[in-house]
Every structure is written in C-alpha cells, then in structure tokens.
Structure 1
C-alpha cells in the first residue's frame, strides 16, 4: 500500500500532467468544483482506493473546474461534477460521474490498468 494524493492540475499543466503522462502510465483525472458536495465526498474515497496501489501504477490528478480550468471541462463535455476520466496514451478511455463506492472505483482503476498494459 502506498499513499497517493491527487496531483493538482490546471489549464497550464494539463498537457504535461495528464496527456503526456498518460503515455507512460494510466492517469485518472477527477474534475470537481469546490462548491460541489458530491465532489467533497468522492475525493477521500478516490484517495483511499488509490492508496491501495503502488505510486508507479497510475497517477491520480485533480482539476478544480473554475476560472480558466473550465475550458478543460468544456473540452471533455463535462456536464456535472464530479466527473472522473481515465486517460491512456493521450486519450480518454472511460469515465464515471458522481459519488461511487470503493469497489466501483477499484474496478474502474483495475479495468483501466489492464487496458494500459
């Protein structure tokens, strides 16, 4: 077990920390908003599940959908928060919305780790 905390992503760092990095490892992007109650509930669940994996298995990232960062949310047609997107080799491969269980998130990560290999 390892402790993985979400890496904060912005419009300026998105290409480097999500798109480019997804060529080396799976990147999970949590798009959320500070005012969003489900977002605040989901974040510790994501972090808890991510801590069950090794740091080098995937990258857990977070984008606060505010100001300029909303352009990224729009680019990926995000219609509600939270939206969690898996990226492999620069492309979105899967997503989910709203609060989910530990088991659901673990299955989401495992399925995408298999796809990455």
Structure 2
C-alpha cells in the first residue's frame, strides 16, 4: 500500500467516493492491474512517478482487477493494464497496455491545466460558438509560445478540420509523434478525417438526397451522404447509407461501404448502442 496521498488502492466500496466524487475536484487515473500481469508491473512505477511529480494535480487510483471483477466488468476491461481517466464524475479517456512516458504525459496535458490552458479554453469557446477560424488562429499563436505541448497540436488538427481545412488537418495529424497515434483523441481525429475526405467538396444534404431519389443505388451519392451524415452527427442515418452501399456495391471504392462502417465504429466507440447492431448487420453481409 502506497504512503503517498496521490496514489491509492480502490475497491468497489470506496470507488464512488475516491473516483466519482474525487474527479469533480481533480483528475483521477484508474489503473486496472493484476499481480500476474508483467506489463502492469512495468507501467505502475511510471504512473506512480508521474503522480508524485505532478504533486496532486491528479490521483492514481489502483484497482486490482482480480479482486474487483465487478468494477472491471462495469468498465468493460478486456485486457490489462487498462487506465481510465475520470474527470467531473465520468470517464473521459483511456489507454490500454504499456505506453511510453511521452504519450502518457501528452494525454495528461489534455486534462491538466498548463501554461497554455487559457489559450486552449479560448479556442474551445470559439469552436463552441461556431468560429473555427478564430480557434485556429488562437491555437497557432499558442503553439508559437508552447511548441512542445502536444495537446495544442491535437486541438489545432481538430479546429482545422472543423474549419474545412482538411488538407492542413491531415498534415497536422501527420506531424504528431508516432507514440500519440494510439490516443483516443488522435484515433477519433483520423476517423473524422476519413469521413471528411470521403464526403468530398461541400454539397448540401438535400442535393445528395435528390440524387438518391433519382437513383437509389447511386454509389457515389450513398457514400458521400453517409459520410456527411456521420460528420453532422446523424449517425444512424449515415450508418444506414454505408450499409446500403456495402450491400449493393462491394467493389465501389475498394469496398468503401465496409471501410466506412469500420471507421464509424471507431468514431462512435465500442459502447455506443448503434455499434453492436450495425456490426452484426455488417457481418451478416460478409458471410
């Protein structure tokens, strides 16, 4: 048992207090581990060292997955180590397996206040107000002052995509260190980039729907409309179009319907209620 106030062992009995309630005051990293797991034994000293270094900016909550199987099942833990980030009473991010220290630090940067926190908050406010161009400007200026902050680079790629500057967003993603590509935020950006590329030049949804009214099996219209709907957040409608494309045109775009469905599952996440349904329907088309 650790003597550090920043590293605690957690059970089902105190999970609510330590993790859920605690995360409303500070970031909590929940580390699911087991005695027999070698990668867990490698990761724990790294996480413990970071917890001490950050001096209370986050708490490391260790959960023995063998003893606390209920917590492991509740969190969908399928392999260990799994580390889940809790903030404001809910999980906001995670990673699995041993990760380089640089990747973990970059992931922490997203949730811990740093010297660039004011600029990031201003950029997020601009995005929320629909002013992606302003967000891009703010983030570019922040990167000039803090060029090593990887979270700023991830934010910039996101803002560029929302501004419709897809080529620049792709370039920004490609400049990220390779060890960041397993981060959920980067995987989601790559999935969104897939749909932005596939949707092509801006075209109103009504124009694409009109094309399908004239030809319900138009593969280009099915593909572009499905991708545009998913980008817009109309996930079920978009999945239906991609499934129809896969059903009718397996050879179009080197099986673009299948690829689009897989990218959508990555974007939505394994726990999204639509994923199981459409994965099952996709598999039925394959066999």
Bucket of the pairwise TM-score, normalised by the shorter protein: 0.7 to 0.9
2:61 and 2:25 mapped to 1: Cα distance?
15
Larger Rg: 2
Contact 1:4–1:47 (Cα < 8 Å) also in 2:
no
1:47 and 1:4 mapped to 2: Cα distance?
11
| Higher helix content, 1 or 2 | 2
Secondary structure of residue in 2 paired with 1:112: coil
2:112 and 2:81 mapped to 1: Cα distance?
21
Report what 2:107 is aligned to: 108
Report what 1:66 is aligned to: 66
Report what 1:22 is aligned to: 23
User: TM-score with structure 1 length normalisation?
Assistant: 0.87
When structure 1 is superposed on structure 2, of 79-88 and 58-67 the one drifting more is 58-67
Secondary structure of residue in 1 paired with 2:42: helix
2:88 and 2:76 mapped to 1: Cα distance?
19
Report what 1:47 is aligned to: 48
| Higher strand content, 1 or 2 | 1
Q: RCO higher in 1 or 2 (8 Å CA, sep ≥ 6)?
A: 1
Contact 1:19–1:87 (Cα < 8 Å) also in 2:
yes
Deviation for aligned residue 1:5: 5.0
- Written as runs of structure 1 = structure 2, the 5 A alignment for 1:25-40 is 25-40=26-41
Deviation for aligned residue 1:51: 2.2
- Structure 2 gaps, min length 5: 122-287
1:27 and 1:84 mapped to 2: Cα distance?
10
User: How many equivalent residue pairs?
Assistant: 112
Secondary structure of residue in 1 paired with 2:105: helix
Report what 2:226 is aligned to: none
Deviation string 1:65-108 (CA, Å, 9 cap, x unpaired) is 123x1101100101100000000111100000001111111111
User: TM-score with structure 2 length normalisation?
Assistant: 0.37
Deviation string 1:5-62 (CA, Å, 9 cap, x unpaired) is 520001111111101111111111111111111100100011122222122x111110
